[in-house]
């Protein structure tokens, strides 16, 4: 990941919130009786599934695009959630979007991205090839490439979730964050640790595709092996780093 936690500060995240606040939902934090009973402690869920497009991804996409000087257009690659986020962000901000999607990606999310106004380019093969094609289109057409996680503005936008969480649950002791590409984890960690230093922030990743864990252990970016996964936002054969 090119943008690390050190690249983004609490001030960056607060500035991101100022840019996107009116365009985002403040998603609720709800107690989970089932998980609390199993864990023996109070467990609460940050319901980002109620966010626009159904995912936190739109936070980072809108924040990054809001910092641009009205480009000719943007291009992204995604199996689903990032595609929808970029499509909605560009429609909201009056830009044109092209999204390269893997042929095996979820059809419902592909259709949703198109409904938000994006031009779709379907690429055979894994997400890694879709990303490469998106970067080619950026060079050919003079478009801005919008990465799914490895950009400071993306990380800062995702970090706004952490600001909300601390406001909604000021006594939080441990925050568990899904760790796919690492953008959400990095942003939330910066926000939470800055506002509540004694809280623990733990990234959680599937054993089937432990890209971040493997990279941390190796001290360099390592691709996760291709495998099957139940994650709705990813095709089965995906390379993640």
- Retrieve residue 22's tokens: 């009116």
CB 225 within 8 A of CB 197: no
CATH numbers and ranges of domains, the chain: 5-51+151-218 (3.40.50.1100), 57-145 (3.40.50.1100)
**CA dist 68 to 73, 97, 147, 230, Å?**
10, 14, 14, 35
Residues 6 or more apart from 22 whose CB is under 8 A from it? none
pLDDT at 1 over 60: no
Average pLDDT over residues 54-74: 91
Count of beta carbons in the 10 Å neighbourhood of residue 212: 21
Average pLDDT over residues 217-223: 85
Residues 6 or more apart from 239 whose CB is under 8 A from it? 126, 127, 128, 223, 224, 226
- Retrieve residue 24's tokens: 């985002």
pLDDT at 71: 80
Question: Distance between CA atoms of 237 and 30, rounded to whole angstroms?
Answer: 34
The residue written with tokens 């441990």 in the block is 174
DSSP string, 161-180: HHHHHHHH-TT--EEEEE-S
CA geometry: angle 20, 180, 89, nearest 5 deg: 25
User: Any idea which of 108-117, 129-138, 204-213, 218-227 has the lowest mean pLDDT?
Assistant: 218-227
pLDDT at 97: 93
pLDDT at 229 over 70: no
Question: Distance between CA atoms of 20 and 18, rounded to whole angstroms?
Answer: 6
CA–chain centroid gap for 24, Å, is 14
pTM score > 0.95 for this model? no
Q: For residue range 168-202, what is the model confidence (pLDDT) as tens digits?
A: 999 999 999 998 888 999 999 999 999 999 999 99
């Amino acid at each position: 990941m090119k943008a690390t936690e050190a690249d983004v500060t609490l001030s960056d995240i607060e500035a991101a919130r100022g840019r996107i606040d009116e365009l985002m939902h403040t998603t609720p934090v709800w107690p989970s009786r089932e998980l609390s009973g199993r864990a023996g402690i109070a467990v609460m869920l940050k319901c980002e599934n109620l966010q626009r497009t159904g995912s936190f991804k739109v936070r980072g996409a809108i924040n990054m695009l809001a910092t641009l000087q009205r480009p000719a257009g943007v291009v992204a690659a995604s199996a689903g959630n990032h595609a929808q986020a970029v499509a909605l962000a560009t429609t909201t901000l009056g830009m044109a979007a092209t999204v390269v999607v893997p042929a095996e990606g979820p059809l419902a999310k592909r259709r949703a991205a198109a409904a938000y106004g994006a031009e779709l380019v379907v690429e055979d093969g894994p997400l890694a090839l879709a990303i490469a094609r998106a970067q080619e289109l950026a060079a050919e057409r003079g478009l801005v490439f919008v990465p799914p996680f490895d950009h400071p503005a993306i990380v800062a936008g995702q970090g706004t979730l952490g600001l909300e969480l601390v406001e909604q649950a000021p006594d939080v002791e441990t925050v568990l964050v899904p760790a796919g590409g690492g953008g959400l984890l990095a942003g939330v960690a910066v926000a939470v640790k800055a506002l509540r230093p004694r809280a623990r922030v733990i990234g959680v990743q599937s054993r089937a595709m432990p890209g971040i864990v493997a990279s941390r252990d190796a001290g360099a970016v390592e691709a996760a092996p291709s495998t099957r996964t139940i994650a709705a936002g990813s095709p089965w054969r995906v390379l993640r780093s």
